[in-house]
């Protein structure tokens, strides 16, 4: 059974701080890793993907991957109230067109 | 570029009734997925299509759920008969043949009474 684990939160951070969201996965063969943001009542929106060990930065977002530890994280710098949402971690076994296995998501609340 | 389209956005039915959802993927995307998202959970795959062929339907409750993608573009997901536990958001996603990034439609929120 392939599993993706996330702390459900809520994770509360003050505006302007760094929010750190973590995710572990059970399938050591996983190759592709995604972070989706989901506002309440809306569908998931892709914000980051990472395929190689290390860091990948895009604006205020940084994804970090450590395949040896089966761990992927998302850092949000200068957190804004508009970042308040549920963040879903998802993994796939390869880089092709395969279904995503999602975690339950971490609810982030950025306090103004 | 237009995103993934789904309809209806909301549906309320009684248990044992049938219901159908429609999805139109991003233009040119060969791969289409249907996911079920129960409140408080992450989306869970129901079925994956590559063009008009089924790639993975291992988690589709085939006694009540069916899906088709006859011309390799639009897709329909049907539930017959519905149960209370089918209350969820049904998400359609698509990806291109060259990328693994999946893009989601707005979803259909189903309530079974």
Give residue A95's pLDDT band: very low, low, confident or very high (50, 70, 90).
low
Helix (H, G, I), strand (E, B) or coil at B42: coil
| Mean pLDDT value across residues B67-80 | 94
Answer yes or no: do A88 and B42 touch at CB < 8 A. yes
Chain B positions in Cβ-Cβ contact with residue A104 (cut-off 8 Å): 40-42
- Note which residues in 73-102 of chain A have CB less than 8 A from chain B: 88, 90, 92, 94-102
**B37: DSSP letter:** E
All residues of chain A having their beta carbon less than 8 Å from the beta carbon of residue B102 are 34, 46, 100
E strands, B25-100, where?
31-37, 44-50, 53-56, 65-68, 75-79, 88-95
Sheet with B65-68: list strands edge to edge.
B5-7, B19-24, B75-79, B65-68
Is the pLDDT at A41 greater than 70? The verdict is: yes
Assign A97 a pLDDT band (cuts: 50, 70, 90).
confident
Give A55-87 pLDDT, tens digit per residue.
999 999 999 999 999 999 999 999 999 999 999
* Average pLDDT of span B52-60: 93
Residues on chain B touching A88 (C-beta within 8 angstroms): 42-43
**pLDDT, tens digit (0-9, with 9 covering 90-100), for B18-50:** 999 999 999 999 999 999 999 999 999 999 999
What's the 3-state SS for chain A? CCCEEECCCCEEEECCCCEEEEEEECCCCCCEEEEEEECCCCCCEEEEEECCCEEEEECCEEEEEECCCCEEEEEECCCCHHHCEEEEEEEECCCCCCCCEECCCEEEEEEC
Q: How far apart are CA B9 and CA B4, in angstroms?
A: 13
Is B81's pLDDT higher than 70?
yes
């Amino acid at each position: 059974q392939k599993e993706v684990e996330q702390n459900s939160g809520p994770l509360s951070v003050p505006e302007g701080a760094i929010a750190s969201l973590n995710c572990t996965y059970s399938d050591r063969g996983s190759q592709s890793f995604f972070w989706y943001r989901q506002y309440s009542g809306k569908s998931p929106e892709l914000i980051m993907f990472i395929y190689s060990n290390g860091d990948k930065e895009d604006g205020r977002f940084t994804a970090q991957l450590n395949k040896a530890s089966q761990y992927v994280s998302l850092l949000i710098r200068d957190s804004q109230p508009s970042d308040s949402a549920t963040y879903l971690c998802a993994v796939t076994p390869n880089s092709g067109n395969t279904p995503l296995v999602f975690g339950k998501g971490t609810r982030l609340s950025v306090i103004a | 570029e237009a995103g993934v389209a789904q309809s209806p956005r909301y549906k309320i039915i009684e248990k044992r009734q049938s219901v159908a959802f429609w999805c139109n993927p991003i233009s040119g995307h060969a791969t289409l997925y249907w996911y079920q998202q129960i409140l408080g959970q992450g989306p869970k795959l129901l079925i994956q299509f590559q063009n008009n062929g089924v790639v993975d339907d291992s988690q589709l409750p085939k006694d009540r759920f069916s899906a088709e993608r006859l011309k390799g573009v639009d897709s329909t997901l049907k539930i017959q008969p519905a149960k209370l536990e089918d209350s969820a958001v049904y998400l359609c996603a698509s990806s291109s043949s060259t990328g693994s990034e999946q893009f989601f439609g707005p979803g259909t929120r189903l309530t079974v009474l």
